[in-house]
A and B are shown apart, each in its own frame.
Chain A
């Protein structure tokens, strides 16, 4: 699997796709959606879709696909090659959401949560396939969230397509297994060959599975914490594991949209606390209030250091 397009800039999200098989433009097709790398605190999350003509479902079954989680890395690589060999009737596409995209989206001023991010990635991929001329009739989606709501959302978004959203779809429908294999292979490659734009020197790549409860991952996160910058962009800052470590080990950083209250925050923001009205008044300064022109620009006259 060639990820060079993503690797050229791994700070943003990237779409990769196979060629669209001609047969998919003339025959009714089914499409499966699955994701890989939703839980880990490290690396990208990958959305994968796979599609083929409904009439070829049996051929797909003969490839002996299974849920990617029940396979070894080697088996997944083999199956991905088999899918590639079947490119006359099977197509795939991937949306790689970089960890930096995940962090900055989830920590955005107007919060963009992981579910919305995931749904948009999936919808974007289906739309891409439709725009490419694929005659889409059946859509199968694996989900961890509430299935009914998601199914309704997709049905409304893609009228004329029969949508099935259910847990464990990746082991029930071969086309979803195929999608899960594509996504997982891409995620594994991306993590393994991650090029750090930050100069990390002799980097210890023993970060384990990337799941927050993996002791190796935890140890890595402790080892590579920078007191000011926190982490390289490989880490999802929006994960509570990362945030808890930053809160306790890195220097505090305050943003103007932080939800904090109390006297301390007010003092920091240079607001006048209610309590200050009850304090003995400090010596009144006789200086005039500067004009709005200066306060808006935060300009002050300085007489001393």
Chain B
């Protein structure tokens, strides 16, 4: 532990948690909050010959579905109340769970050299490394 604040974290997982369709875009949107995703984005996705295309703010994107590593789930967290001071614990609620998400690249098709695709291999590798470590 490097810092003393926020040492305790509460994670609430309701059984009724919604499954969300998650999209990872190759840009930074200076906004946090609700957005008309299904109206503007999901409705305009074209899926031909295993190639997903869409546009965002007039820029062409190409996408691919990425599946979470086996045994792992993706979580979308929402902070219930912002802590008043850094002495208080942060409290976040799981607002949705996902097993896969769509990863979008600007104009080029996502490929195995993309960081996010490569990152998905880490849990398997981590397992292998710890088994090796244990055997030694």
Contacts and interface: CB of A to CB of B under 8 A. Distances in A.
- Please report whether the interface of chain B is mostly helix, strand, loop or mixed according to DSSP: mixed
Nearest to A238: B58
Contacts of A296: 115, 118
A169 B92 CA distance: 67
A149 interface: no
Interface string A245-289: 010000111111100000000001000000000000000010100
A7 B38 CA distance: 21
A103 B59 CA distance: 7
A94 B108 CA distance: 29
A255 B60 CA distance: 12
Contact of A255 (B2, B7, B27, B118): B27
Chain A interface size, as a band, is 35 or more
Contacts of B44: 11, 197-198, 233
Contact of B46 (A11, A108, A255): A11
Chain B interface size, as a band, is 35 or more
B1 A303 contact: yes
Contacts of B58: 100, 103-104, 106-107, 230, 236-238, 242
A298 interface: yes
B43 A199 contact: yes
Interface in A88-134: 100, 103-104, 106-109
A305 interface: yes
B2 A226 contact: no
B29 A303 contact: no
Contact of A229 (B3, B41, B90): B41
A257 B119 CA distance: 23
B9 A304 contact: yes
B57 interface: yes
A238 B92 CA distance: 40
Contact of A228 (B2, B7, B31, B122): B31
A197 B35 contact: no
B36 interface: yes
A229 B60 contact: no
Contact of B107 (A109, A228, A238): A109
Nearest to B48: A9
Report, nearest first, the 4 A-B pairs whose CB atoms are least far apart: A237-B58, A103-B58, A229-B40, A104-B60
Interface of B: 1-3, 5-7, 9, 26-31, 35-36, 38-41, 43-44, 46, 55-60, 90, 92, 106-107, 115-116, 118-119, 122
18 contacts: A104-B55, A107-B58, A107-B59, A109-B106, A199-B43, A226-B36, A228-B31, A228-B40, A229-B41, A236-B58, A251-B30, A253-B57, A254-B27, A285-B2, A297-B122, A304-B1, A305-B6, A305-B90
Given A199-B39, A252-B30, 9 more contacts: A104-B55, A104-B58, A227-B31, A229-B57, A254-B30, A256-B106, A257-B106, A297-B118, A297-B122
Interface of A: 9, 11-12, 100, 103-104, 106-109, 197-200, 226-230, 232-233, 236-238, 242, 246, 251-257, 268, 285, 287, 296-299, 303-305
